[in-house]
Structure 1
């Protein structure tokens, strides 16, 4: 009897546990549970603790309400220029109506995949290869518009469509690489040419500036050289003027006469004989008379007196010039020096006559 009661209690406890399990349903966050009563849709359970009628209500599906990402395998697509390319797509979608996603379509993921492939073939079929490779944004926009419109009645919203990869055939890849390499070589040549042009322009401008600076330097150098020559000529002329003035002053200080001119003539005679064309030089015996005639000829020269009477008036040369002392016996000493020079020249020219005169002179002195 006690064992029977124990078995009944265990069965009753198990029945209560099963009833509670069928009655209480916990739905996770961002999920939606579809409840059916006798195979017909009854309601949708929200996240949290929910109570259903056991053995009558049944949770058929639990729908994920979060945004889902589905990547489809590469699919061959033919472009307008009859080239086959493989395109990978990625779809971002979200279930907005769990009832429609449950009862309007059997498998909404497979339906989205097939719809994506057919729409993609339709869009890419109207483009050539180059346009397909460069128009990803346009393809994504058109594909999203078609998918969003078709999946709206399924309770699905397509948020974003991305082309993960577009792979052309290997031969097209090789051609594209060659074209890209040619374009890069062309750009490199263009950049090199532009660099050489800029270099040539800068070099020409530098040479121009250098030539301008050189010309300006030559002009300034010539101007400075001309100024230096002018100042040098001026200083040289001033020096020559001062030298002439000094010589003229010295002549006035020396008080020259006819005897001094005759003495200067005798000093110039050896220099006259030094010429290359003078092969023979004859000194006449009447050199004394010739010198006397020279002296008599010099008497007629204007401005040169026969004899000087006292010192002449000195030309004022300024306080820096030395003063020459005035002497009264200059005329006599100059005449005596000239006479002595004449006698020595006559003796050298005619030794016999000089000896005769020397023998006759004592007699005259004695008389």
Structure 2
């Protein structure tokens, strides 16, 4: 008897456990349980702890209320220009009505896949290949609108539809790659030509600017060189004028005679005889008298006067430092003064000749030397 009682108690305990398991149902978060009583829909259990009648009520389906992502395999689609492309799609959807998703459609995932394929063929069939490759956003919006409208009665909301990939045939892909390569080569050639054109333009502009600057530099250089030559000529003329004045003054102050001229002849004779090519050289006719006078000067010194008679005419030497004329008028005055000094020196050296045409008039003679008198005896 005790053993039978223990078996009965064990069976009773097991029955209680099974009864509690059938009575208490725990629904996870974001899930919904569809309860049927004798095969007929009774109610929908929310998330959490729920009590049902055991052996009468049954949780037939457990519906996931979260957003789901389903990726469909590539499907061949024919475009408007009769090209077959493979398109992969991704669907983001969510169950909003567990009852409709359970009783309105047997397999809503398969239904969404088939509806996506048929809708995709309708949309892509009205586009050519280029439009299909560049109009993904338009295809996505068209698919979403059709799917959302068709799946509404199934208790499903399509949130987003994405085209994962569009693969044209290998021959078309090869042709497209060649076209893209040709376009890239064309753009590269265009960019290279534009770069060469810009380089040529910049080089020409640089050469132009260089030529302009060189011309300006040459012009300024010529102007400065001309000014330097002008100033050099002015200073050279002033120096020559002062040199002539100095020589002329020394001639007037020294009052030379035949002895000095003879001595100058003797000094010039070695220079006349210099050089291997000088085979013949001319002796001036006055050299005999000059040597005779030089001999007399060496013995009796009769050629050199003891006292110089008559007043000496001094010549104004001008300033010690040459003054550069600042204007053309001053330069003309300086040139006229130099020419006058040269004419005066020439007139003094050759008393018998007349002065230049510009200074025509009565000749001035040195009061110390009378042109009419004969030279002193040697």
Q: TM-score, normalised by structure 1?
A: 0.75
CA distance in 2, matches of 1:232, 1:144: 98
Gaps of 5+ in 2: 290-306, 322-367
| Matched residue, 1:249 | 249
| Matched residue, 1:238 | 238
> What's the CA shift string for 1:73-115, capped at 9, x where partnerless?
1111111011111111111111111111001111000000000
Within-5 A mapping of 1:85-96:
85-96=85-96
1:315/1:41 CA distance change after superposition, 3 Å? same
| Matched residue, 1:14 | 14
1:219 partnered with 2:219: yes
Larger radius of gyration: 1
Alpha carbons 1:67, 1:92 under 8 Å: kept: yes
Within-5 A mapping of 1:280-359:
309-317=309-317, 339-340=377-378
CA distance in 2, matches of 1:216, 1:61: 99
CA distance in 1, matches of 2:234, 2:81: 96
| Matched residue, 1:198 | 198
Within-5 A mapping of 1:60-209:
60-209=60-209
CA distance in 2, matches of 1:264, 1:310: 25
CA distance in 2, matches of 1:265, 1:154: 144
Alpha carbons 1:68, 1:94 under 8 Å: kept: yes
CA distance in 2, matches of 1:311, 1:264: 26
CA distance in 2, matches of 1:22, 1:282: 165
1:39/1:250 CA distance change after superposition, 3 Å? same
SS in 1 for 2:59: strand
SS in 2 for 1:60: strand
Query: How far is the alpha carbon of 1:315 from its aligned partner?
Result: 2.9
Query: How far is the alpha carbon of 1:265 from its aligned partner?
Result: 11
SS in 1 for 2:139: helix
> What's the CA shift string for 1:279-324, capped at 9, x where partnerless?
999979xx98xxxxxxxxxxxxxxxxxx962341433447979xxx
SS in 2 for 1:110: helix
Alpha carbons 2:245, 2:315 under 8 Å: kept: no
1:55/1:174 CA distance change after superposition, 3 Å? same
1:280/1:222 CA distance change after superposition, 3 Å? closer
> What's the CA shift string for 1:242-281, capped at 9, x where partnerless?
1111012112212357x689869988x99xx99x9x9999
CA distance in 2, matches of 1:89, 1:338: 141
| Matched residue, 2:33 | 33
CA distance in 2, matches of 1:114, 1:124: 15
CA distance in 2, matches of 1:319, 1:213: 43
CA distance in 2, matches of 1:97, 1:282: 148
Alpha carbons 2:84, 2:168 under 8 Å: kept: yes
SS in 1 for 2:309: coil
Query: How far is the alpha carbon of 1:230 from its aligned partner?
Result: 1.1
> What's the CA shift string for 1:6-65, capped at 9, x where partnerless?
121111111111110011000111111001112111111111111111111110000011
Gaps of 5+ in 1: 289-306, 322-329, 341-367
| Matched residue, 2:52 | 52
CA distance in 1, matches of 2:138, 2:94: 22
CA distance in 2, matches of 1:282, 1:48: 153
CA distance in 1, matches of 2:45, 2:311: 155
CA distance in 2, matches of 1:15, 1:72: 47
Query: How far is the alpha carbon of 1:184 from its aligned partner?
Result: 0.8
Query: How far is the alpha carbon of 1:339 from its aligned partner?
Result: 4.4
| Matched residue, 1:349 | none
> What's the CA shift string for 1:137-174, capped at 9, x where partnerless?
10011011100110011111111111111111111111
1:91/1:262 CA distance change after superposition, 3 Å? closer
CA distance in 2, matches of 1:279, 1:237: 34
CA distance in 2, matches of 1:280, 1:255: 28
1:118/1:312 CA distance change after superposition, 3 Å? same
* RMSD of equivalent CA atoms: 3.3
More helix by share: 1
Alpha carbons 1:262, 1:338 under 8 Å: kept: no
